[in-house]
A and B are shown apart, each in its own frame.
Chain A
Amino acid sequence: MTSGTAIDVRGLTKRFGDFIAVDTVSFNIPRGEVFGLLGPNGAGKSTTIRMLCGILLPSAGSGTVAGHDILDEPEAVRSRIGYMSQRFSLYLDLTIGENLEFYGGIYSLNRAQLQERKRWALEMAGLQAREQQLTEDLPAGLRQRLALGCALLHQPEVVFLDEPTAGADPMSRRQFWDVIYRLRAEGATTLVSTHYMDEAERCDRLGFIFAGQLVAIDRPDDLKRAQRAGVIVEVACDRPAAAVETLERTDGIRQARLHGAGIHVSPAVADGAVNAVLAILERHGFSVERAETVEPSLDDIFVSFIQESEERPEAATP
């Protein structure tokens, strides 16, 4: 790679007929970063990833991945990246070893390379001595790690993971992230999309994508510090769902939602926020155990981005 940049895109756009799936997205990801892409279903995360992988041709814009142009050199891009999607393509009727060999063939590894990388993948996925086992007999978490192993056989410089852990249990997801960090230590770059906020917290930087547009890009801590979500009051009270409904109907409340065992409320005015929330809840007969201002969580930030993008009329398509 010629520079410290792994992914660089300018004005990336994808239209499907009248629908703009990805709208002039620009960003830059340095080598070795773990970059998380967040956004609602249908916001354009997968489409963005597919364009960067050279699977889908952009309608406009340009970009380089691993030093190669995604428009002019898609083959060179594809040979340097690993891609794993939510519906990863393992052959369930093949053994674990056969799946790895199949992908080794696709990436044109020679015999010696294949043996070495196969060993690496089996160890990484925790599947040593299970080579002969049928893939369909593996639990979901192990299948996901095998799929990751297949996507990494050719030691790609840049790895794209599109909701790789959907439906995996917390322990499997933790092990999956161990592998991502191992790749980072080896200098590889990872772009991962996820709906798990705990995974978002594990990324070096995050991009929020809404209705095809990249609306923010920053480190998780800096996103929280930017106070985009306004002041957040955390409340522990009885009947939290009813409390949310009451607060949503009250003027001067920007946002109220369940959070953990309690609720997070964002009043429009920051001054006296705690007392304002307390007054509303007590007036409606809720007994409040605790109310205090807290740092916004990543899902508070996520929700406030969604609200903002819904308030913009041009983004109102469902």
Chain B
Amino acid sequence: MPSPDEIVIEARHLRKVFGATVAVDALDLAIGRGETYGLVGPDGAGKTTTLRLLCGALPATAGSAMILGFNVASQIDEVQQRIGYVSQQFSLYPELTVDENLSFRARAYGISETDFKHRREQLLAFTRLGRFRRRQARALSGGMKQKLSLAAALLHEPEVVLLDEPTTGVDPVSRGEFWQMLLSLAEQGTTFLVTTTYMDEAERCRRVGLLYEGRLLVEDTPHEVRRLAGITMLEVRCAPLVTGRKIAGSVQGVQWAELFGDRLHLAVEEADIATSLERTLQNAEIQVSSIRQIQPGLEDAFFEFVRRSREALP
């Protein structure tokens, strides 16, 4: 956890209401300098709204947001000079080249020509887009477009960067390159708040927060989040699989059972359930070839937090 004097993104009881829908509900966030914070959660949980509230694109219904000590509501110019924002939609000009897009954006930020040229070369080298600089943005691959969006958002050397699902539809290798860039900047002090639907990306964040129906259900390091979920995962190889799942799912102490390729994944309270589980399956004429404990993934942990939250509803 960052110490309070290092906090660069802060939300206090942030709330946003659209008509009858509470999109973001009493959200508290405190993100330290150089941190990479991943915001995950189901569609409609409020991830995009949160980013828009934090960058001042959307006014909050209640609560406050501070970026680098500046109030987003009353000091928007100071905020915008210091943050970069990459939205879900590709927001550059498809008919302009890589170079032209960067130069257009630099003028919008009021960056001097000399500063821009220096910064452009740095960013083109960093994103490895140099050899595509005269290519129209429309002709770039998905991964390259995302790198260009990031480069454009970094032109004015922001201290804080907000990214909304920057890698959707991008292949694993290009996503890996993208994250290499983010973490390399983070290690030099840039702070990132990223939303993602990829759990392997969430695992790369210093901390992750799970947003559900506008509220933060849990936030911690990926490692801690998995521990806090308090579930043990068993992998069961059995046949027939579908009947096996139905029976395993009804065994006392099994929280949920799902098919995973040619095997089952069970979330259980205690690993020692394995023996009685095997007996129950065999009594139902299910052939069990192996049961072993496996590491719960971040996705399993989130699934469990959401399940508990749903159960807690009246």
Contact = CB atoms under 8 A, between A and B. Distances in A.
Interface stretch (B24-32, B90-98, B259-267, B271-279): B259-267
A101 to B, nearest CB: 26
A261 B204 contact: yes
B41 interface: yes
B203 A261 contact: yes
B302 A170 contact: yes
A135 to B, nearest CB: 15
B311 interface: no
Contact of B259 (A167, A169, A177, A220): A177
Given A174-B258, A240-B183, A242-B187, A306 B204 contact: no
Contact of B174 (A41, A173, A204): A41
Q: Which of A34, A171, A245 has the most CB of B within 10 A?
A: A171
Nearest to B132: A318
Interface string B260-302: 1110000000000000000000000000000000000101001
A173 to B, nearest CB: 8
Contact of B297 (A39, A169, A198, A240): A198
26 contacts: A40-B173, A41-B142, A41-B169, A41-B170, A41-B174, A166-B168, A169-B41, A170-B40, A171-B302, A171-B303, A173-B197, A174-B258, A178-B259, A181-B259, A185-B241, A201-B260, A203-B261, A220-B261, A245-B184, A258-B179, A260-B203, A261-B204, A299-B176, A299-B200, A303-B176, A318-B141
Contacts of A78: none
Contacts of A202: 259-261
B176 A86 contact: no
A306 B186 CA distance: 27
B174 A167 contact: no
Given A204-B261, A258-B179, A306-B173, A241 B184 contact: yes
Q: Which of A42, A170, A197, A198 has the most CB of B within 10 A?
A: A170
Interface in A187-212: 195-198, 201-204
Size range of the interface on A?
35 or more
Size range of the interface on B?
35 or more
B43 A172 contact: yes
Nearest to B182: A241
B43 A166 contact: no
Nearest to B259: A181
B44 interface: yes
B197 A169 contact: yes
Contacts of A167: 165, 168-169, 197
Contacts of A196: 198
Contacts of A245: 180, 184
Nearest to B306: A171
A15 interface: no
A253 interface: no
Contact of A204 (B172, B203, B258, B262): B262
A195 B171 CA distance: 5
A139 interface: yes
A139 B184 contact: no
Nearest to B243: A185
A40 B171 contact: yes
A318 B223 CA distance: 37
B167 to A, nearest CB: 9
Contacts of A306: 173
Contacts of B258: 174, 178
A204 B260 CA distance: 9
Interface in B216-233: 221-223
Contacts of B142: 41
A140 B143 CA distance: 22
A244 interface: yes
Contact of A140 (B43, B170, B260, B262): B43
Nearest to B168: A167
Interface in B65-95: none
A88 interface: no
A198 B299 contact: yes
Contacts of A240: 183
A34 B302 CA distance: 26
Contacts of A244: 180
A288 B241 CA distance: 43
A166 B204 CA distance: 20
A306 B183 CA distance: 22
Interface in B151-193: 165, 168-176, 179-180, 182-184, 186-187
Contacts of B174: 40-41
Contacts of A220: 261
Interface in B196-211: 197-200, 203-204
A120 interface: no
A302 B173 contact: yes
A58 B142 CA distance: 26
A56 to B, nearest CB: 21
B168 A197 contact: no
Given A261-B223, A306-B173, A241 B180 contact: yes
Contacts of A168: 43, 197
Given A140-B43, A220-B261, A197 B172 contact: yes
